[in-house]
Chains A and B, each alone.
Chain A
Amino acid sequence: MYSEIITLILCAGLIMSSVLGLSSKKVSTTLISLFYSSILLGIILTVFGDALLGLLHMVTYAGALSVMLLSVILITGQSDLSLNSGNLIKIVGGILIAFTALASVFVFSSSGNVSVFPQDISLQLLSFLWQFRPWDLLIIIMLFMSSMLVLANLFSKGD
């Protein structure tokens, strides 16, 4: 019963954020909505027992591709966001640091027991694989975090 309600809420949030993002006139609003859509889809994958896929999805789409889209929007000048707005850089940097820190805590605190709806055999295999992946995942997260910070620093030098 609870799982159905959680699934409905997550799917409704995913559809709403996508519709709001694609129907918006501003590209920056679309980017922010897609960021939340990526996180919601990662949460859905995690809740249904695939923590590795959920984390990969969040790191790839909400982390790397969002920053890349933001950089393209700033380069092409398609938004009202400005390269000289220091507050925006601080906000984006803070969100990225918080996200990567959360992902790091998530990696180390979950040794296969992260699924709300446990699957039997696949969960055992996933937990077996998961026990050997935290260090590799941490290195990947640190690489992503450093690249994002370098990108944010690159834009902040326009002040």
Chain B
Amino acid sequence: MLIEQVTLLVTSIILILLGTFSIFASKNLIKSIMSYQVAVFGVNLSLFSSSIPFTGMQRLLGDTFVFIAIVVGAAVEVVGLAIVITVYRKFKTLNPSEIRRLLH
């Protein structure tokens, strides 16, 4: 079980780093939200992998954390999509640097 847990943890770290880097590197707000989704995948996987060795109530506690992370991540993404639509209606673009230029 240790090898599988380490595999899941390494995968989650890679996903978190990949998502965080891509949030700042992407030139499209929709792609930034997709990158956030990848980072949330990594967080969910790390929470889940940390609860694998346990049993009983401790395992259920870890599963509850993953459940809350899934729901909160989805809710935050939906709010981000609503903000993206509002920004697009106002500025007619989704490029962050161009939006910043249009603000000033």
- Residues of chain A touching chain B, judged by Cβ–Cβ distance below 8 Å, are 3-4, 7-8, 11, 14-15, 18-19, 21-22, 27, 30-31, 34, 37-38, 41, 44-45, 48, 50, 53, 56-57, 60-61, 64-65, 68-69, 72-73, 75-76, 78, 119-122, 125
Contacts of B97 in A (CB 8 A): none
B22 and A122 within 8 A (CB):
no
Contacts of A72 in B (CB 8 A): 30, 81, 84-85
Instruction: Give the complex CA separation of A133 and B54 in angstroms.
Output: 24
B34 and A69 within 8 A (CB):
yes
Q: How large is the interface on B (under 10, 10 to 19, 20 to 34, 35 or more residues)?
A: 35 or more
Instruction: Give the complex CA separation of A119 and B53 in angstroms.
Output: 10
Contacts of B60 in A (CB 8 A): 122, 125
Min CB–CB distance A32 → chain B (angstroms): 11
- Residues of chain B touching chain A, judged by Cβ–Cβ distance below 8 Å, are 3-4, 7-8, 10-11, 14-15, 18-19, 22, 26, 28, 30-31, 33-35, 37-38, 41, 44-45, 48, 52, 55-56, 59-60, 63, 66-67, 70-71, 74, 77-78, 81, 84-85, 88, 94
Min CB–CB distance B92 → chain A (angstroms): 9
Contacts of A125 in B (CB 8 A): 56, 60
B48 and A78 within 8 A (CB):
no
Contacts of A57 in B (CB 8 A): 44, 70
B15 and A14 within 8 A (CB):
yes
